[in-house]
Amino acid sequence: MKRNVYLAMKGLPEAREIFLRTWREKKTISERIDTEDALGRVTSGPVYAGVSAPTYHSAAMDGIAVRAERTYGATEQSPIILKTGEDALWINTGHALPEGYNAVIMVEKIHELDGSHIEIMQPAYPWQNIRKVGEDIVATQLLFPQNHIIRSYDMGSLVAAGVFKVMVRKKPGVIIIPTGTEIVSHKDITDFSQLKSNRIIDSNSVTLAGLVREAHAEPRVLDITADEEGAIRDVILTAANSDADLILINAGSSAGSKDYTAGVLAQIGEVLVHGVAMMPGKPTILARVNGKPVIGIPGYPVSAILSFEQFALPLLLHLQGFTQPGNRSIKVSASRAIPSKLGTEEFVRVNIGKVREQCIATPLSRSAGSITTLTRAEGIVRIPPSSEGIAQDEEIEAELLVEEEDLKNTIVVIGSHDIAIDVIADEVRMKTGRNIRISSGNVGSLGGLIAIKKGICHFAGSHLLDTQTGEYNVSYIKRYLKGVRISLFHLVLREQGLIIPKNNPKGIRGIADLTRDDVSYVNRQAGSGTRILFDYNLARQGIKPESVKGYDHEEFTHMSVAVDVLSGAADCGMAIYAAAKALDLDFIPMDREQYDLVIPSEFLEDPNIRAVLDTIRSQRFRDRVREFGGYDPSKSGELAMEFNP
């Protein structure tokens, strides 16, 4: 009776490395499934919105639809009386806004005098309490990058965006082979008297099948194989020639005279490891047969579970693009103050990323109608009803919506908005095979430089024009980032101009037309590069900002500007050509500007930042960016300048 001896037992880290690196490049194939069946699945490629959501202008509150201009001048001392059916129409939340009406007054703010007259004591403003077309989701926008785990609210956002089928990684198939002359399946037990000496219920197969399902894979448990060398060889070869992605052989992996698994695997394949320095779980075998991973799972139940968790679980998650689970909560510091209303417990969706040794939480939009604030969030911060909010830099607890390990691979980007950042978010995953996440805070170019100064982001996107020299970003970096070592990298040249409705119904030809009484404008926020560029163009033509109707109407992204034009909230707005193209709007080109990445030099050796720079230097990235239109990424990734204090 020959006994196996652990002549080359490996430590746990080394054993894991040997086993997992063998299939590091392997992923399960893609399959197309119905969106309603996609819960917990992993996207195998980027997913884009098919339609905008909402698809029509709708009431955000119960109340009355009005023409805002009809309410101007209303005060408590001088209320205005509106006639229902003419000046005001009753409307419920979610109902379409009637033609010709442009605001909703919530029911709590009105006084019904009789069945046909309503009294209001304050004016409404255009688009008050109205959800505009595309407020939540804009057609063609990136909903999810590849390797994204689809959650319940993700499914809702996909359907809302017209994505009814989605490409995902196929669930790995796992064959479980129970072995042992002494074990018996619970399905075969009709009477406990069957459990005589040397007869054991096979509980491990049920446990392992459950663990496989928890790993989002599909188990298939075979009939029990007796402790016979030939039988074990035959069943392993059959499994290895099947479409299974992983084979688990339970029991027979130790050094007993009837433990044939290691010997058989050595004959028909390759044993990578036999024996791991862990307790329980020492007899684990790691092998491959016919190119398939095979794990010899020890027979003792606890050993079997630990062996699965250390080797099978990470492999199954890797095959699908998952990461291993971590703790579900973490201490974070708020990147900016988060005010809250006393008496209400608030759940604030936040992006979370680790900058140096600090986890930074950036609040997302708090709109109750925006499902994307959940799909984009890494965590939720609960503000108790006794609090008026969270102070900037205050340390708080966040409930994680992602695995804590993901936060180490989250790159915090604060600054100017650009569609190319979305492309980076997807491409960096494909290029590295790692779940690197991009957490974006769109606060404008100047806000990004201030965030770098405060040490709360990894890099900023910036396109700040020096109107004296015509140079981008350099003078601002020198002014606002004194004492900070900075590396400035080119990302794209992009076309800025005026976005106008399709077919240009108001005949807008340039900035001079924005002084017309019949033209309304939507601006970018103060401190944004687009706002500075717009102000520069106004000054060049001798136009005062106050002469532009809507100059104080601000949005934080190019897409938001385009949505306002599409919805009719504005007749014109300044943004990049790609935003106009995405929504099939017309565009009047004005300037070609440089959009750069401002990176603190200390982060250049960070693997995630290196991955970003490698990604934007790739031809695939440049080709994808060009497809949006209005972009020249030919210098993307080039070092433009270094600033040393």
Q: Name the nearest CA neighbour of 548 among 590, 510, 517.
A: 517
Give pLDDT, residue 525. 86
Kindly give the pairing relationship between strand 437-442 and strand 410-415: parallel
pLDDT digits (tens, 9 = 90+) for 156-188: 999 999 999 999 999 999 999 999 877 888 887
Residue 484 CA to residue 478 CA, distance in Å, equals 9
Angstrom distances, CA of residue 257 to CA of 4, 9, 180, 300:
8, 19, 13, 17
Q: Name the amino acid, one letter, at 497.
A: G
Summary mean pLDDT of the chain: 89
Using omega within 30 degrees of 0 as the cis cutoff, is the peptide bond preceding 280 cis?
Answer: yes
Residue spans of alpha helices (H) in 215-300: 229-240, 261-268
Confidence of residue 305 (pLDDT cuts 50, 70, 90): confident
pLDDT digits (tens, 9 = 90+) for 230-283: 999 999 999 999 999 999 999 765 555 456 888 899 999 999 999 888 777 888
Give pLDDT, residue 1. 38
Give pLDDT, residue 208. 94
Give pLDDT, residue 368. 54
Question: For residue 531, what is the enclosing H or E element?
Answer: helix 529-540
Candidate from 58-62, 293-297, 303-307 with smallest mean pLDDT: 303-307
SS3 call for 143: strand
pLDDT digits (tens, 9 = 90+) for 470-505: 899 999 999 999 999 999 999 999 999 999 999 999
Rounded (5°) CA angle 170-176-182: 170
What's the predicted TM-score (pTM) here?
A: 0.64
What percent of the chain has pLDDT above 90? 59
Give the residue with greater pLDDT, 486 vs 403. 486
Give pLDDT, residue 10. 83
Q: Which two tokens stand for residue 506?
A: 């108001």
- Report the length, in residues, of the chain: 645
Please give the sequence-ordered ranges of beta strands (E in DSSP) within 133-283, or none if there are none: 142-144, 165-169, 173-178, 183-184, 200-201, 218-221, 246-250, 270-274, 276-277
User: What is the mean pLDDT of the segment spanning 393-418?
Assistant: 86
Give pLDDT, residue 257. 47
Q: Which two tokens stand for residue 518?
A: 């019949």
Residue spans of alpha helices (H) in 241-392: 261-268, 301-307, 313-320, 372-375
Strand order in the sheet with 285-289: 218-221, 173-178, 246-250, 292-297, 285-289, 270-274
Exposure string of 442-476, with b = 16+ CB inside 10 Å and e = fewer, is bbbbbbbbbbbbeebbbbbbbbbbeeeeeebbbeb
Q: Which two tokens stand for residue 531?
A: 């706002």
Question: For residue 430, what is the enclosing H or E element?
Answer: helix 419-432
What does the DSSP 8-state code read for residue 312?
A: I
Give pLDDT, residue 170. 95
User: What is the mean pLDDT of the segment spanning 589-595?
Assistant: 93
Domains of the chain and CATH, by start: 10-27+171-320 (3.40.980.10), 30-54+135-169 (3.90.105.10), 58-131 (2.170.190.11), 329-408 (2.40.340.10), 423-435+461-643 (3.40.190.10)
